[in-house]
Structure 1
């Protein structure tokens, strides 16, 4: 009879009433504070986010994995937490959006694994009301345990007292952070600026954030967090369907929206990964398949367009009928041209007819299922552009929480392209069929 294995580790879930309250700043600062003391801190990010994990990985000096009950599945999430609990002194999960936003929400994830939550709230322009809002969030559901409040943008000691005196004893004010620009993480249209773009500046921000948090005495709270039991959830062993398959992966500041879980899955299935830069390399490395992930090609459109040899290499790859997966930014790259917000047009690879057009606002986001011929894969969309003049779609994404059709999915020869970012562990066999030439025929 198999005995289920367990491990024990303190854990904390950092949530907020809304986006933009300071969750990532606090999470990153706390991870850096404890990491520089020699502790092993494993950080997870809720939901399909590429940018926050880049920052949190630098802060904790450990791999950061996304957790999502719908996209990844409950068993997969459970196993990631179990594995982390075997090596970590503390597990931190950063939530997404507001505490109860989304289906499933941050609160759903915290409740499923019995992880205590701390609310980070921007308390600018409110005092006692901030405490009342925190109490409302804390008491909305019986299966969620909220153990404290961190007040961001707290103006003074008096401001702190007004909040603290309104809170009940079982919902303490753990820390107050002043309105300090020196620790604010820089942002742009899809979220935070990528870690690799602000290397030196990011280190300064993380160290400053750790110093600010240390001064609040938050470590006293962390030390008294009780250990949580995380149970092993053995997953189906992955077949080596990609053994000896060489996959070229675009990776630079223009293409960086890559789940660590996707990389791990490809490696575990036997693939040999070869990275290259569409910005600076002249050719794709010798490979059997190509993955063009999302990113910010619009910020580097001129450099991408000027790299004629690499664009030709992509065209040649497609003519050889080798599998290509292009996701979001990768989709923009394989279109005929890309138009900037200023109206300037740049030639792209032209594997797929159409024009990519950047938008100043709006866009699409949300969880979707891609019903590919190879099998169904789960993923999400999040973009500020549209594709125009494209051919008829092979199929459309199926939205998780809405009846309207999702993103168009195109198939031109060996190319599969769409705005969807796929989560490979949601269907490993389908991914193997997508990337393995023999299976693709």
Structure 2
């Protein structure tokens, strides 16, 4: 979109859209969203899917199901203008838009309900109804009437035991919240999971295809797609663009991005922004490659290094290349799993300890299912960037951090942020579009610290594309 075009300020576009939400986590939102996306795709429709919040794994699955890229939407981390732009752009090319919520409908600040209300998205409630009947109707009725700015258009009863079970729920529902579908308990529809959430789509592509098609077939028998397509289309307004704001330039800078099963937690929006600023991107595998590509800066994103720690430790030529890059004072950003890779050792879930890069003193170790998560701002010397943390590991013996993440609301210090030479390492996953200027400085071959006040976090929401 050309930000100098006067029509960009007032233009709007309409598109059928629905927000798929649930009263709690674990109700089957992603399974249903993926199945519905595949059903609509099989019907020849262009389906654009979005995921609420900072999730990495669900978007991988939803992208495979829909055949289209999947963006994350978060009012705090990304900003309203960014979210509005993404929805508007999708509506211009899609036949239908699906937005999957996060956690329970009203959980968090901002919540799934806040996002749905902000953009006028009608809600389909997905609920696991195992062990209840009329109570499911009572819960849906309460959800539908909890806020005046949220529109609930129906219920999908998941894990429904029988036709009689379905009937009991349907008869108890209020007339303005119909039962749009009921799916049986069926393990062949559920998506595979591990300790940080769903298994990466790239690891189980063929298995996912079978589950997508089974889910699409089940939903087709319920005529859910037809019911949702009959809803009034949602009007998406074009975001206001400031023609005087320009993105910083990264022209002439090549960023090497680690990309393999160990390092895959990457926002597509981050890659898009780097390219919009003029950077060249190249990819490499710390597991399989013996050398680094020619590049000026490196990004080691999060992922599952604990599952591939033996392979990472055994790739001595790659470790030597990374040590050389570090010693040359070239910029490296290491996030979460990337941080663990930069430590001296990593102990996996089998209590096996593996030698890592040793760019930072310290030892990493996995610690069961309990972990840290939450939204934080990384107050980097280059400028503040909003981010989030989600990990099941601990790090010990690390150096004194240069600062800590600033939590969204809690006053306690957030994740420590380390710096050694040009390496910046933390458990935080940065959302680059929140502060393009800080990101450009971070990856610059020459250190370029900010000269403005840290409260000035000009995001892509306020920048032109």
Shared fold, TM over 0.5:
yes
Aligned counterparts of 2:366 and 2:225: Cα–Cα separation in 1:
45
Structure 2: any 5+ residue segments left out of the alignment? 450-465
Shift of 1:417: 0.1
Contact 1:276/1:285 (CA < 8 Å) preserved in 2? yes
Aligned residue number for residue 323 of structure 1:
331
Shift of 1:219: 2.4
2:216 is the counterpart of 1:210 = yes
**Superposition pairs for residues 411-430 of structure 1, below 5 Å?**
411-430=419-438
Contact 1:323/1:440 (CA < 8 Å) preserved in 2? no
Aligned counterparts of 1:258 and 1:297: Cα–Cα separation in 2:
14
2:377 is the counterpart of 1:352 = no
Provide Cα deviations, 1:355-413, integer angstroms capped at 9, x if missing partner.
00110131100000000010000010000001100000000000002111100000101
RMSD of equivalent CA atoms: 1.1
> SS of the residue aligned with 1:278?
coil
Provide Cα deviations, 1:150-175, integer angstroms capped at 9, x if missing partner.
00000000000000000011000000
**Superposition pairs for residues 178-327 of structure 1, below 5 Å?**
178-235=184-241, 238-327=246-335
Contact 1:368/1:397 (CA < 8 Å) preserved in 2? yes
Aligned residue number for residue 74 of structure 2:
68
> SS of the residue aligned with 1:286?
coil
Contact 1:238/1:269 (CA < 8 Å) preserved in 2? no
**Superposition pairs for residues 40-55 of structure 1, below 5 Å?**
40-55=46-61
233-242 or 25-34, which moves further after superposition? 233-242
> SS of the residue aligned with 2:172?
coil
2:76 is the counterpart of 1:82 = no
Provide Cα deviations, 1:237-273, integer angstroms capped at 9, x if missing partner.
5435111210000001110000010010001000100
Aligned residue number for residue 407 of structure 1:
415
Aligned residue number for residue 342 of structure 2:
334
2:14 is the counterpart of 1:8 = yes
Aligned residue number for residue 28 of structure 2:
22
**Superposition pairs for residues 26-41 of structure 1, below 5 Å?**
26-41=32-47
Shift of 1:234: 4.1
> SS of the residue aligned with 1:143?
coil
Aligned counterparts of 2:418 and 2:169: Cα–Cα separation in 1:
53
Aligned counterparts of 2:347 and 2:446: Cα–Cα separation in 1:
36
Contact 1:240/1:268 (CA < 8 Å) preserved in 2? no
Provide Cα deviations, 1:57-113, integer angstroms capped at 9, x if missing partner.
001100100000000000110011100000011110000000011110000000000
TM-score with structure 2 length normalisation?
A: 0.93
Aligned counterparts of 1:269 and 1:234: Cα–Cα separation in 2:
20
**Superposition pairs for residues 104-119 of structure 1, below 5 Å?**
104-119=110-125
**Superposition pairs for residues 114-129 of structure 1, below 5 Å?**
114-129=120-135
Aligned counterparts of 1:62 and 1:346: Cα–Cα separation in 2:
38
Shift of 1:223: 2.4
Contact 2:16/2:229 (CA < 8 Å) preserved in 1? no
Contact 2:255/2:280 (CA < 8 Å) preserved in 1? yes
Aligned residue number for residue 389 of structure 1:
397
Contact 1:284/1:310 (CA < 8 Å) preserved in 2? yes
Provide Cα deviations, 1:172-214, integer angstroms capped at 9, x if missing partner.
0000000011111000001000000001111111111111111
> SS of the residue aligned with 1:396?
strand
> SS of the residue aligned with 2:234?
strand
Aligned counterparts of 1:223 and 1:427: Cα–Cα separation in 2:
37
Contact 2:248/2:440 (CA < 8 Å) preserved in 1? no
> SS of the residue aligned with 2:288?
coil
Aligned counterparts of 1:120 and 1:417: Cα–Cα separation in 2:
38
TM-score with structure 1 length normalisation?
A: 0.98
In the TM superposition, structure 1's runs of 4+ consecutive aligned residues that sit over 3 Å from their partners are 234-238
2:378 is the counterpart of 1:370 = yes
Structure 1: any 5+ residue segments left out of the alignment? none
Aligned residue number for residue 147 of structure 1:
153
